[in-house]
């Protein structure tokens, strides 16, 4: 998939895709999640197991 195609599918600008691929540390999380969804990826947050005292 080309950058412009991904940007269109995710509803973000091409500049955002370029910055995200480059590892821009201030990339917006919401937009990054839109890109992952457009790619068919799933993002899951799993809490750490409880610590036993």
Q: What is the pLDDT of residues 18-46, one digit of tens each?
A: 999 999 999 999 999 999 999 999 989 99
* Structure confidence at residue 15 (pLDDT): 98
Collapse the DSSP code of 44 into the 3-class scheme (helix H, G, I; strand E, B; otherwise coil) and give the result.
coil
Q: If we measure between CA atoms, which residue out of 4, 6, 2, 3 comes closest to residue 40?
A: 6
* Structure confidence at residue 51 (pLDDT): 77
* Structure confidence at residue 50 (pLDDT): 86
Q: For tokens 């998939």, what's the residue?
A: 1
Task: Tell me the torsion sign for CA atoms 17, 21, 40, 30.
Answer: negative
């Amino acid at each position: 998939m080309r950058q412009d195609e991904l940007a269109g599918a995710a509803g973000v600008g091409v500049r955002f895709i370029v910055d995200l691929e480059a590892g821009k540390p201030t990339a917006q999380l919401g937009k990054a999640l839109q890109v992952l969804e457009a790619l068919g990826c799933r993002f899951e947050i799993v809490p750490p197991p409880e610590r036993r005292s």
